[in-house]
Structure 1
Amino acid sequence: MHHTLRYLFFNGIARPLLLILIGLNVRRRHLLPARGPALLIANHNSHLDTLMLMLLFSSKTRRRVRPVAAADYFLKNRVLAWFATRIIGILPIERSNIGRTGSDGQRVDPLLVVTEALDREEIVILFPEGTRGDPEQLGTFQSGVAHIVRKRPRVPVTPVFIHGLGKALPRGEALLVPFFCDAFVGEPIFWTGDRASFMNKVHDCITTLAGEANRPTW
């Protein structure tokens, strides 16, 4: 039942909203992962970012796409939790578990659900900034993506830069403003063997895509 509702939501509501009302241009769509396991990382400036990234995939592939989201926000009530898990298909992350030690004395891994999803050959969407930032501005990248890829070094990491959605529905705003948006897809990144060099590579790739977005086309 929820598969049908999910299909109707994305194709009957989300797609017309983003592709018709706002408008979306995708550069190098062919670089998107066709199957899992794979990670898709992107900048994060709007509530619409997740929907837009999921709409980059076909309906068939989208069934295997799982966006990472904060459990304390998306599971705060039963209705939102049902919508987030059943329709969007989020992987809820307990941010309160970051740095916490379990009853067995072992450090709790809040990103375990991500590695489990990759082991199920799913495509996971992750925002390295960890939270929505100011419109069209890159925030500080957290090292969670390095933590995941270090454990699954053969998993490709596809970078995407989203341009325009931060102006269409920025953080703290509820009014949608029509604004043409672009998604710039980059070449896949792989684990370098070192956390610092990998994060530098991630930052450089996203920054390069951001520069492409801000480059005049005339």
Structure 2
Amino acid sequence: MDVFRSLLHVAPATGTAVDAATYRALLDRSDGWAVGPLVVGDERLAGLDPDVAVNVLTSGGAGSVAALARRADGLRLVAVETVLRDLDDLAGNAARVVAAAAGLPDGVEVLVGLPAGAGLVDAVEVVEAAGLHGRLDLTGHRGAAEQMSVLVEADLPFKATGLGAETFGPYGVVAVLMAVEALVDGAEAEDAEQLLAQPDETRSRLALAAWDDATQARIRRRLRGVDDADVAATLDRLAAADLL
């Protein structure tokens, strides 16, 4: 299904790395069309294969984004990811990221992590107005649907991270897609929360079977990608369940 195209971002667990050969092996699979860019931390840029498409996750705030703009030569840079850390001034922090992102090469997406807080809505408005995208941490998932609802309401495209198998199980990727679809169609955050909390094969199969091309396009216009620490295993599970 086209809804999976380039959806799965290859995001190794903290402290590990994926080399170029392993990443290319994922792309060369028959279902490699579902594989997105490789996610690497900005501390791992030395020696990266310049032919591998990468999302770079910054280790700091706006300053790290600005520094990356000066280190982009020799990288096939698809996107820069950062997380707002000033919880007392999320909108101001977002504005500083916007300013820093202006120095990045043309065509590079910027994904801004938007933590829950009193200033979330204002920060989302700053990010959306600048043409940047969101980054939503689903770790533990509780409360994440409320944040997701804010992003969908603002029509802010975003990627999802923190999709641990211990939290979501093997059909978590589909559960995220379903939650986005529900919110786009006007569901309450509580309904999306339930979808995230109870992913299963039967529900996943029924949902995917009902999605036409227009529905898939609506979902992917909002959901730009999903981080996955073991893309090969996810592809194997989805294929075994005949969900791809």
Larger RCO (CA under 8 A, 6+ residues apart): 1
Give TM class, smaller chain: 0.3 to 0.5
TM-score by length of 2: 0.34
TM-score by length of 1: 0.37
